[in-house]
Amino acid sequence: MKYRTEIEGLRAVAVLSVIVFHAYPNALPGGFIGVDVFFVISGYLITSIILRDIEAGTFSIARFFEKRARRILPALFFVIACCVPAAWYWMMPAELRAFSDSVIAACLSVSNIFFWTKSGYFSPETAQMPLLHTWSLGVEEQFYAIYPFLLRVIGKKTYKKNATLLFLVAGATVSIIVSYICSKYDPELNFYFLPTRAWEFFFGGACAVFSGGRERDHGWWACAGIILIGAAVICFDESSQFPAASLAVAGTCLVLTFARSGNFVGNSLSLPPLVMVGTISYSAYLWHQPLFAFAKIRSVDVPNGMTMFALIVVSLALAYCTYRFIELPFRRKPDQEVHLSKGFVGGCAVFTIALVSFGIYGNLTKGAPSRLPPQISNFIQENAWNRRCLAFKDPSPLQLPEPSCVYNSEHDSSYAIVGDSIASSLSPSLAAQLDRHGIALEQMTHTACAPIVGIKSSGESAQGCPNYIRTAFERIKASGVKTVILAGAWITFFDEKNLVLNKQQITLASSKGKAMVREALQSTVNELQEAGIRVVLLYPVPRGDSQVVAKVAKLMLTGNLKPTVSVSKEKYSSQAKDAVDYLDSIKGGNIVRVFPSHSFCRTTDNNCVLASGGQAYIYDKLHLTRAGADVVAKNIVGTLIN
């Protein structure tokens, strides 16, 4: 296949889009679409290579796999190996355990599946995941594992252009349909999985078949392609729904098919700086996320813009070195002997075993807390947040509450708490306070479930929320409970750009969407009040800018053993404004409103304290530690009983 410098330039556009997005997400909100561009390019190049070899009668699946492995694995293993010591010395136990799991997933080519089970790609927590970006390698490697067999079956002994093109178009069509369905019902699955991404590879392959190695110099079509890619990168963001990526895919197809040396787009993409970045784009992609993540993990405060720019420069410098000294030497030359292949396979096996062993150790030891000074490891353990009775992906609970989720069951009078992980983190402390007054507590909490009937966020973990919350309220109405506390991550929930209400997609950016959500919340409260139940609305808890317990632990490592961590009251008020407006709008005669900010936010310096005197009140950015939950629980019980 003829070397095309404009493809290297297109790779540069893709990788720089992704890097800038991760460094400055607000500056280039659609930069993540650079990954879609990569997928199309991969489909184009791999199809061209396979079909060329089939047509020449030289295609070997074993040799194909070896070339792909030589292209991908050495640099990947090297970067992961470099991450391990940084993770060991800088990460807190929970972070190291999650990192260890991601190392295993990356080595086994299932990172996309692993991260699908964790936070969504756009969740703030992912900024501190050094191997988050390997999800795309998982998709690509899974595609490579299947695709050559399919083309080999279609081509059999000779290359059949029409049959191949028909297969690629049909495959892309099926994948698009699957992607469209998943975008409505499971956006996270749609983002991470090969079946919903395969159409991008197939379109790239179709371009390779259509071009057939012939020059198609139609500069205006190539210009249109660049415009489409630019529009997707600049105009779209994380909330953009299907078919947002199709613009970038179509644009990439046009550039691959029609950009040639001699026309404007071809010449522009062939500029030496772009070609250079494109040449090292794989290593640049590998390095940027670990550098960004470890900078955020190591820093007590969020790195500023200049720091992020410096890290971009460093990632490109490391990418060049990795390309020069890792990638190039491992790319097998045609005249090399077979015993080198055996050595390569053996080396990959050794690295895989070593890295997976590290991952297993990190998982089994729960992040190896023993590597930290005892005072710090004890502090972390003492300031965990309660996950007891927090359901996950449980849309049809057989029994609510579960017997183990009823506190103080010896008492006749009973309260209930319904909500998400915020409610879960509060429950044991609330139960302890209620026990002093002879009151039981029934805990019904589910990950990512706001205590509103019929509504859910778009995240994968929230898919079962409508059924779970409905079951919880039916149980409460039938049980004789007379007081219900509704608690949740209101700031996060009302900051969602898209929600689902009674299977209908709505957007909070519109006044209609806001009115529908407000009506759903009011209807929930009305339903409980009509059953004679007192409703307690727990207003938002102050949030941290970063992981609070981890931040305190890092400060303790510097010698500050009892640091204070706070957020300005002004910032908290700004964050909570929408949530407070929604909760304030709820009307009813039997509503009690509890404001945690009254306990955490000081009037003397206008700060909301998140940690002080050797105690943390918030664990990560929003979940209450036992100490923080004690403060809020006293506030609730004091308001209700006194």
Residues 450-501: tens digit of each pLDDT? 999 999 887 667 878 999 999 999 999 999 899 999 999 999 999 876 788 8
Please state, rounded to an integer, the average pLDDT across all residues of the chain.
91
For residue 406, the cross-strand partners are: 442
pLDDT confidence band for 28 (50 / 70 / 90): very high
Helices (H), ranges, 236-327: 244-258, 264-269, 272-279, 281-298, 305-322
pLDDT, position 125 = 80
- Report pLDDT digits (tens) over 330-340: 986 545 544 45
Tell whether the model's pLDDT for residue 7 goes beyond 50. Answer: yes
506 pLDDT tier (thresholds 50, 70, 90): confident
DSSP code string of 86-148: HHHHH--HHHHHHHHHHHHHHHTT-HHHHHHTSS-TTSGGGGG-TTTTHHHHHHHHHHHHHHH
CATH of 390-542+569-598+626-641, one of 3.90.550, 3.40.50, 1.10.287, 3.10.20: 3.40.50
Q: Is the pLDDT of residue 213 over 90?
A: no
pLDDT at position 334 is 47
Taking residues 297-326, what's their average pLDDT?
94
Q: Give residue 560's pLDDT band: very low, low, confident or very high (50, 70, 90).
A: confident
- pLDDT of 297 above 50: yes
Q: What is the DSSP letter of 161?
A: H
Residue type, 486: L
pLDDT at 331: 82
Percent pLDDT > 70 in the chain is 95
Contact 616, 628 (CB under 8 A): yes
Q: Which residue has the higher pLDDT, 192 or 239?
A: 192
Q: Is 637 left (phi over 0), alpha (psi -120 to 50) or beta?
A: alpha
pLDDT score of 396: 67
CB atoms closer than 10 angstroms to residue 347: 14
Give the type of residue at 543: R
What pLDDT was estimated at residue 120?
77
Top-ranked range on mean pLDDT: pick from 134-138, 154-158, 341-345? 134-138
Contact 222, 255 (CB under 8 A): yes
Spell out the domain ranges in the chain: 5-371, 390-542+569-598+626-641
Which tokens is 298 given?
A: 């190591």
Buried b / exposed e over 478-514, threshold 16 CB at 10 Å, is eeebebbbbbbbbbbbbebebbbbeeeebebeeeebb
pTM (predicted TM-score): 0.84
- Interstrand relation of 455-457 and 498-501 (parallel, antiparallel or unpaired): antiparallel
Collapsing DSSP to helix, strand or coil, 333 comes out as coil
Helix, strand and coil content of the chain, in percent to the nearest 5, comes to: 65, 10, 25
